Amino acid sequence: MIEEKKLFLEKLWNLENSDRPCFIIGDLGPKVKGGKAIKNALFSTEGSVSVKERLLDPDKYLEAQLDEIEQQKSLKGEYVPALCPSLGVITFPSAFGCEVIWWENDFPAVKPLEEDFDISDLPDPKLTDGVLGRILDYTKLFLSKTDGKIPIRLTDIQGPLDNAAMILGPNNFLMKLHTDPNSVHVLMKKVTDLMINYIKEFRAVVKQNGGEFVPAMFHPWMPDGSGISISNDECVMISPEMHDEFHVPYLNQISEEFGGIYIHSCGDWTHQFTSYDNIYNLVGVEFGASEAPYDKVLDHFNGKIVTACRVGFNRDIKFTGMNDFVSKIISTAKTTKGLFINVDITNGITEEPWEETDLEQIYSLIYNSKSE
């Protein structure tokens, strides 16, 4: 069954899924008919232990992920089991010397570096600096404990723009785009080079330890060689022209290295359409449909790349429930080619009244949809 799901997901990435959208089922909210909500081991702040304890104890982290995989077995959709040694957004900032703050019941953060330093003097980190080595150790342990039978997803690498903003602090970073652009480019190049070298090392560790490497942290499953997933949340704060200047060259460097790029963005990033069109081999976008207006996103890309959507924060654009979300995405999309629906409220908000999720209705909506 897993191989069948992979074949259908390959059709998704090849934009050949004209029969229906791909989908997975996850956290469905507080009221569910026909199933139960599944808490995400990577992103949920709930669980039997605190977030900090889960992340810092690889055995407990592995146990939480295996429990999530076990719960997925009873659900339909294109869920492909995989483990991920993510420690959140701190990965590369920690390698550049940013202090990590380990919150007890939330995901870790970093303190930006002090402002009075010359960016060109920043040393090039080793591939074990900060938490980089810990993540590689987790990867080896996960593979050892599962005999390499469960694929390993790429850890949370964020993206060049996000990492640079965390290293300098968002306000300082945005100011330097205007006052010291040359230094920003120096930092962006350093970050990008480290990301590329680390991704190669991460993949090599997975392969050397008998595992299958999945080049995306975000759903859906992605075949190795199809590209790399990154995050691009900071892009909501800058203009398309600035994104063209300060980010696209580095995204292109990553895309050229790995054969494509799959971009996650929080918030409303739709003003970046013209800049995203300048990205070399953009193979997909992952977004919250209640944050970035889903009608604009689906219309702009329209089956040309993978469009993976989830509910999101459900604030400016409202859905009354999960069934309403799925129905509106399917009725708005002009084609099912490249369309992936993540039926999951993780990292989102469900406000009262949030309607009961009816799984059978969701299955009916998806399996009965067709490309025009």
> How is 194-259 classified by DSSP, letter by letter?
HHHHHHHHHHHHHHHTT--EES-SSSSP--TTS-EEEE-GGGGGS-HHHHHHHTHHHHHHHHHHHT
Confidence of residue 48 (pLDDT cuts 50, 70, 90): confident
348: pLDDT strictly greater than 90: no
| Average pLDDT for 311-323 | 88
pLDDT at 46: 82
Alpha helices in the chain (DSSP H): 2-13, 51-56, 58-72, 91-95, 132-145, 160-168, 170-179, 181-208, 240-246, 248-258, 273-276, 294-301, 322-332, 359-367
The Cα–Cα gap between 142 and 136 comes to 10
Burial 109-126 (b: 16+ CB within 10 A, else e): bbebbeeeeebeebeebe
Question: Is residue 195 over pLDDT 80?
Answer: yes
Each residue's pLDDT tens digit, 319-341: 999 999 999 999 999 999 999 99
Return the percentage of the chain with pLDDT > 90, whole number: 85
Statement: residue 267 has pLDDT above 60: yes
Burial (CB count within 10 angstroms: exposed 0-12, middle 13-18, buried 19+), residue 176: buried
Amino acid (one-letter) located at 314: N
Can you tell me which residue has the tokens 């909210």? 29
What does the alpha-carbon distance between residue 181 and residue 148 come to, in Å, rounded to a whole number? 45
**Could you tell me the domains of the chain?**
2-367 (3.20.20.210)
- How high is the pLDDT of residue 91? 98
| Average confidence (pLDDT) over 45-67 | 94
Which of 70-74, 193-197, 314-318 bottoms out in mean pLDDT, i.e. has the lowest? 314-318
Q: pLDDT category, 184, cuts 50, 70, 90?
A: very high
Given a cut of 70, whether residue 372 has pLDDT beyond it is no
Higher pLDDT, 305 or 27: 305
The pLDDT, as a whole number, for residue 329 is 98
Q: State residue 371's pLDDT score.
A: 60
Q: Which residue has the higher pLDDT, 31 or 161?
A: 161
Token pair belonging to 320: 């009354």
Is the confidence at residue 72, as pLDDT, over 80?
A: yes
pLDDT value of position 73 = 86
Average pLDDT over residues 110-121: 90
**pLDDT tens, residue by residue, 225-238:** 999 999 999 999 99
Q: What is the percent of the chain with per-residue pLDDT over 70, rounded to a whole number?
A: 98
pLDDT at 242 over 60: yes
| pLDDT digits 0-9 by tens, 18-28 | 999 999 999 88
Considering the chain, what is the average pLDDT of its residues? 95
3-state secondary structure of 349: coil
The answer to whether 368 and 328 have CB atoms below 8 angstroms apart is no
Q: Provide φ and ψ at 50, rounded to 5°.
A: -65, 160
Full-model pTM: 0.95
Q: What does the alpha-carbon distance between residue 39 and residue 108 come to, in Å, rounded to a whole number?
A: 19
The predicted model gives 79-85 an average pLDDT of 97
Across residues 332-360, what is the average pLDDT?
88
pLDDT at residue 346 tops 90: no
Q: How far is CA 351 from CA 15, 48, 257, 319, 341, in A?
A: 34, 24, 42, 10, 21
Compute the residue count for the chain. 372
